[in-house]
Structure formats: structure tokens, C-alpha cells
Amino acid sequence: MNIVAAAKVAVTGKTKSTAGKKYADIKAATQAGIVAGCAPFPEGVDFFGFYNGIDEKEAQRYADVEITHGRIAMLASLGFLVGEQVEGSAFLFDANITGPAIDHFQQVPGTFWGLLGAVIFTIEANRVQTAWQNPFEADKLFLLKDDYTPGDYNFDPLKLSAGKDDVWLNDMKLKEVNNGRVAMVAISGMVAQELVNGLNLIPADEVLEMGKAGALEAMEAQCTGATNEAACAKAFEAAERAAVFAANM
């Protein structure tokens, strides 16, 4: 079986767990279809040995957690980039949101977070009802239902999967898992970068590419703490771009 075929098998997920079944390591869990393995790690990656001797139900919980966090990370990565591009727009919180995305949280009115919290509570309550066993009836806490497939909440409002065969579905599942993994790394990098330099992502990256570290340091000195950091960063980027263009004339 080649790597691609093995990956598609591994991402299918078991629809029913076996009580008491254990896996020696992540390789065994991947071969059983619990973990989605793909190139360049077709047998999975587990540097800290979390899957060594793991129970099948616990392995399925890990798979569900990975899918869930991947989905959140994809939304967060998109939100970081879009949020910084539309900040200062009149239709968005009276144009009062500005600066790096890591500072947007404090600037958004509390009413918005209250409404968002209610939405999250509703979604999570439905997720718990769909996926998790009743903690008062289960053998232990945090167990998934036996007939639950990790990540499957029967949510497909656009009916994209209607009429599709298993090959197509497994391919889409693998793509979702992989994009989620990339997004988790990406959002970690975005947050780290903004914590270090205090600047919007895209202007900072553009300036670094054009003027190397010296220009980025000058941008930090000029814009960090400015009344409108986003406008300052974008203006600095434009000036740097003009300087580079003039130098290449």
C-alpha cells in the first residue's frame, strides 16, 4: 500500500470502539485507522509517547481533540489576517479596533464577547450531546460514545458531502486534518511574531522582506505604541516600498 492510500485508510476513523483494546504505539493506532497519518510521516508522529500503550477510546478522544483544535486554528488564522486588513473600517465597531490582532480582544466591546460566548456555549453543548458519553453513566470521565466518529457532528448545511462516495469523503477528511495541523502551527507563529515585534503581520513581513532586519527595527521603533499602530505600519511599509522601487530605478 502506498503512502497516499495508507493515509486515506488512516483518516477514515473507526465508527465503533472496542472496549479494552490497546495500541502499542502511534504506528499501531495509525494502521488501525485511529490516527490520520500522511507523508512525510505516514506512521504518525508522537515525540512524547502519548500513544504508547494507549486505550482505543482514549486514542479516539485524541483524534477528536486534534480535529477540533485544527478547525479552531483555521478560523483563528483567517481571523487574524482578515481582522488586521479591515481594522479601522467604519462598519466594524465604529472603526475603534486597531493595531496587531493580539490587541483586538481588549478593544472589542464586552457585549460582543457575551453574544459570542452564548454562541460557543450552544455549539459546545450540542457537541457534548453528540459525541460524549454521560459522565454519570460511563466507566470514567471524558469518554466518547461507541458509535461516534471523531469530528463528525452531522454539520453540512451546504450539503457538500451529499451523494459522495467514501473515497471522496476520506480524501476531504485527510485534507481537513492536514490543513488543521498547518493552521495550528501557523496561528502559533502569528501570535509569537506579534508578541515579539508588536506590529501587524503583513506590513511587518513585507518590510522585513524588502529592508531586512534594520528596516523592521526602524518600523518597530516608529510605530509600536503609536496612536494608530496599523496606519503607521502601513504607511511605513508604503514608504519602504517606494524607497526600494526608487533604488532599483
- 181 assigned ligand-binding residue: yes
Cα–Cα distance for residue pair 34/12, rounded to 1 Å: 8
Instruction: Give CA 31 to chain center in angstroms.
Output: 25
**Is 141 known to sit in a ligand binding site?**
yes
Domain ranges of the chain: 57-197, 201-249
DSSP 103: G
The model's pLDDT over 36-90, given as tens digits with 9 standing for 90+, comes to 888 788 888 888 989 999 988 888 889 899 999 999 999 999 999 888 887 766 5
Amino acid present at 149: T
Contact 21, 56 (CB under 8 A): yes
**Per-residue pLDDT at 170:** 87
For 124, other C-beta atoms within 10 Å of its C-beta total 11
Predicted pLDDT of residue 210:
60
Note the pLDDT of residue 93: 78
Measured between alpha carbons, how far is residue 161 from residues 33, 45, 70, 74, 155 in Å?
21, 29, 20, 20, 10
161 burial (CB, 10 Å; 0-12 / 13-18 / 19+) is: exposed
Look up residue 40 and give its amino acid: P
Mean local confidence (pLDDT), 169-179: 91
Does 234 score more than 80 pLDDT?
no
Determine if residue 66 is labeled as part of a ligand binding site.
yes
The answer to whether domain 57-197 has CATH 2.40.50.180 is no
Give the Cα separation of 34 and 114 in Å (integer): 37
- Which carries the bigger pLDDT value, residue 243 or residue 190? 190
Please check if 169 is assigned to a binding site. no
The verdict on whether residue 69 carries a ligand-binding annotation is yes
* 107 labeled binding residue: no
Answer yes or no: is 144 a known binding residue: no
Query: What's residue 143's pLDDT?
Result: 85
Instruction: Give pLDDT, residue 3.
Output: 37
Q: Of the ranges 13-17, 121-125, 225-229, which one carries the lowest mean pLDDT score?
A: 13-17
Percent of the chain with pLDDT over 90: 20
Which pLDDT score, from 0 to 100, does residue 7 have? 42
